Amino acid sequence: MSGFSYRTGALYAEDVALTDIAAQVGTPTYVYSAAVLERNYRAYEQVFGGQNVGIHFALKANGNLAIVALLGSFGAGADIVSLGELRRALAAGIPPDRIVFSGVGKTNEELAAAVKAGIAQINVESEPELEALDGIARAAGRRQRIVLRINPDVDARTHEKISTGKRGDKFGIPYADAQALYRRAASLPGVEPVGLALHIGSQLIDLAPYKAAYRKVADLVQDLRRDGLTVQALDLGGGIGITYNDEKPPSLDEYATIVCDTVGNLGCRLAIEPGRSVVASAGVLLSRVIYCKNGAANDILIMDAGMNDLMRPSMYGAYHPIYPVQEPSPDAKMTAVDVVGPVCETGDTFARARLLPPLGTNDLVAFGAAGAYCSSMSSTYNARPLAAEVLVHGHSYDVVRARQSIEAMFADEHMPDWVTGTDPIAMTAGRKRA
Ligand SMILES: *Cc1c(COP(=O)(O)O)cnc(C)c1O
């Protein structure tokens, strides 16, 4: 967990003690390391940069403006999946010509906003989307660059909820239909098909599915070209896995070799859309123990972070490492404990039978590998405000999202007069009913 390390007995994010952040910002709080973010991003740049491969950070992994802006300052583009993410990417200063728009269900409003913003590319996932976009772009007097997202029908061998490239998954255009639809797209005045996209899933540990999918896409490129169609761009998706527990993900070099071997000689401009592998290891969720109580099986550590803050364990059965902020002594007795949140669901369990040193009320822990799909998936379930987010940069840090106030949580809600009994007409009607 470099970027996060023990110094003089306590866990630091770069040169800032997590105890200081907890004291000043409170808990639960997401803490990100700018240095780790940069290292993760530069690794992609080093492997692919020489070959002019576009790197579009997938905002859904972590859309915090500071994080997106920081990545943008390194040269990253954005992969977005909603109007909200378009607005986030633009607000963070990502130039429109570095934004690509993915997603299976883009509304007319979203497509129109993307066309108007002049984004680089829309990844079209179906025939109705193609027809809708053509109309919207023509109405705006534009010709929108698009690629068709293909479902290559490969098994990504990842968690079923994040596998996206198998026939029957909701994503993409069936491989067999792609050629006809590409031809149709080429005939429409509102769109300019420039290539193909695919994204077969997330947290991929095995490179074989990539190889199979990229081979199929390469074959399709040849077929389209034989048909006289122009194919200049390939968007290869994201999805490289990371280590949460004992996974052994491929290196970027190995991944790049596969890219080179399968689609490297087609003369296409390549793009990738990594999310998890850029931000996951750059973040921890800092949380405090409320109580430790005796359970029937194991002792139970009850944290002040819940499934609303960190959903992956309850959603996917995901593993997150748990680090005591105070460094355990080498001879500390490790015991198996259940680590849970305060939310009223048994699903609000982060870990069962996790080996940890003695921890009690007020002790701090950090959930590791929590930079991706953690804060961005959080909710206010149980009327728990969204956690604060902090970005550490060397010796200093900034609160990049203030802890949500309880007032802000329900500021947009409204009680109609007929409910509160202050509307005289409704009150009369109510009396009649009674
Ligand atoms: C989620 C997603 C990504 C990012 O996937 P990671 O596993 O986070 O790298 C990239 N492209 C598309 C289309 C996605 O939906």
Check residue 434 and give its pLDDT: 44
- pLDDT value of residue 426: 61
Residue of minimum CA distance from atom 10 in ligand 1: 238
Quickly tell me which residue has 């405000």 as its tokens.
385
CA of 288 to the centre of ligand 1 (A): 31
Ligand 1 centroid, distance to 20 Cα (angstroms): 34
Indicate whether residue 102 lines ligand 1 (CB < 6 A). yes
Which ligand 1 atom is the nearest neighbour of the CA of 201? Answer: 7
Residue 364 CA to ligand 1 centre (angstroms): 32
Confidence at residue 1, expressed as pLDDT on a 0 to 100 scale: 47
- Locate the domains of the chain by residue range: 4-31+282-409, 34-279
Structure tokens at 409: 């949580």
User: Looking at domain 4-31+282-409, which CATH architecture does it have?
Assistant: Beta Barrel (2.40)
For the CA of 81, the nearest atom of ligand 1: 15
From the CB of 237, is ligand 1 less than 6 Å away? yes
Task: Check if 344 is active-site.
Answer: yes
Intervals of the chain under pLDDT 70: 1, 424-434
Find, among 328, 394, 245, the residue nearest to 6 by Cα: 328
Task: Please tell me which residue in 260, 268, 292, 344 is annotated as part of the active site.
Answer: 344
Calculate how far, in angstroms, residue 386's C-alpha sits from the geometric centre of ligand 1: 24
294 and 309 Cβ atoms separated by less than 8 Å: no
User: 240 C-alpha vs ligand 1 centroid, how far in Å?
Assistant: 9
Q: Residue 61: CB within 6 Å of ligand 1? A: yes
Handedness of CA 271, 277, 283, 289 (dihedral sign): positive
58 Cβ closer than 6 Å to some ligand 1 atom: yes
Chain segment 193-250, per-residue pLDDT in tens:
999 999 999 999 999 999 999 999 999 999 999 999 999 999 999 999 999 999 999 9
Cβ of 235 less than 6 Å from ligand 1: no
Is the minimum distance from the CB of 274 to ligand 1 under 6 angstroms? yes
Q: Is the CB of 201 under 6 A from ligand 1?
A: no
- Residue 324 in contact with ligand 1 by CB distance below 6 A: no
The domain defined by 34-279 folds into TIM Barrel (3.20.20)
202 within ligand 1 shell (Cβ under 6 A) = yes
Cα-to-centroid distance, 199 and ligand 1 (Å):
7
Burial class (CB in 10 A: 0-12, 13-18, 19+), 349: middle
Query: What per-residue confidence (pLDDT) applies to 157?
Result: 81
* Predicted local distance difference test score (pLDDT) of residue 359: 97
Q: Whose CA is nearest to atom 3 of ligand 1?
A: 238
How many Å lie between the centroid of ligand 1 and the Cα of residue 165?
A: 12
Could you tell me if the CB of 60 is within 6 A of ligand 1? yes
Q: What is the pLDDT of residue 13?
A: 98
Given ligand 1 and candidates 80, 129, 202, which is best to mutate, with the most ligand atoms within 8 Å of its CB? Answer: 202
